[in-house]
Amino acid sequence: MPFPIPSGKDFEQPKSEIKDDKEMKLYLKILTLLLLFISTNYLNAQPSASFYFTTAFPINDYRLFDDEVGYGGNLEFLFITPSKAKPMGMGISFSYFTQGLFFATDSYSGETILSDNKANNFSNLHLIFQLAPTGGTVRPYIETFFGGSYIYSFSQIFTLDYVPVSLFIDDWAWSYGVGGGFKLLIGGDEEDGSLYLDLKGRYMMSSDVSLLDRNSIRYANNSFYYAVNETQLNFVAVQLGLVIYFR
């Protein structure tokens, strides 16, 4: 059901009573430290770093809630990069994308800007396990990932008297999924420092999370109203980026 927002001041939604955010953060720290500990046993393994541009397409039940495409980026660092000798790799991934961007006119400058007002934003931290059984100039691979997602939305609207009202909503969720792709050598030596073009696809899902229904924000009877929906994330992400293999 919709919730009224007191007009003329900021309003922040209380966090879900079901989820324990501190416990989730602790689990993520433990998993990250465990990954670092494991990687110290493979100090001679070749590390790699990569950056991707991401386009995220909502699917399944989540698409019925919000069918807009998300845009963002992804940074990854593999402590152990898969090779023909050691086909299993491990690392961490940080990704961010936003769903609900639109072009708007800035109220101060009058210029057209890309606005994220009322957008749902997704920040994701995952552990990656990647399997690439072949070396060479073309390297197909599959991967799985597990971690957490922080979802937030900041909205600002104005009353008929031009009084600003701000709304901030956030939540945490476990997120996980599978993916795969191809790395194509475009520079350097495949057995040493090299540069690869990487095209991958990922399917990401999550536990239950509270998201702002962006179409629900309205002004009526001298009050603002909004609604929050409980749902699960379901995205197929297409990513294009560069992978640097260190010496």
pLDDT of residue 142 exceeding 80: yes
Helix (H, G, I), strand (E, B) or coil at 138: strand
- The answer to whether the CB of 82 falls within 8 A of the CB of 132 is yes
Strand partners, 73: 53, 96
> What pLDDT score does 227 carry?
83
- The answer to whether the CB of 206 falls within 8 A of the CB of 56 is no
Q: What's the CA gap between 95 and 74, in Å, rounded? A: 4
| Structural domain boundaries, residue 111 | 3-245
Domain count, the chain: 1
Q: What is the pLDDT of residues 187-199, one digit of tens each?
A: 877 666 789 999 9
Arithmetic mean of pLDDT, 176-202: 88
CATH number at residue 73: 2.40.160.20
> What pLDDT score does 12 carry?
47
Which pLDDT band holds residue 21 (cuts at 50, 70, 90)? Answer: low
Q: What's the CA gap between 5 and 27, in Å, rounded? A: 34
Helix (H) or strand (E) holding 163: none
> What pLDDT score does 79 carry?
86
Against a cut of 0.85, is the pTM above it? no
Q: What is the pLDDT of residues 52-111, one digit of tens each?
A: 999 999 998 888 888 889 999 999 999 888 877 778 888 999 999 998 876 666 666 666
Q: What's the CA gap between 177 and 201, in Å, rounded? A: 11
| Least-confidence region, from 11-25, 55-69, 133-147, 178-192 | 11-25
Mean of the per-residue pLDDT values of the chain = 80
- The answer to whether the CB of 214 falls within 8 A of the CB of 153 is yes
> What pLDDT score does 8 carry?
40
Q: What is the arrangement of strands in the sheet containing 3-5, beginning at the earlier edge strand?
A: 3-5, 223-226, 218-220
Helix (H, G, I), strand (E, B) or coil at 10: coil
> What pLDDT score does 11 carry?
44
Q: What's the CA gap between 207 and 210, in Å, rounded? A: 10
Q: What is the pLDDT of residues 57-70, one digit of tens each?
A: 999 888 888 888 99
- The answer to whether the CB of 151 falls within 8 A of the CB of 171 is yes
> Tokens representing 105?
């006119």
> What pLDDT score does 70 carry?
92
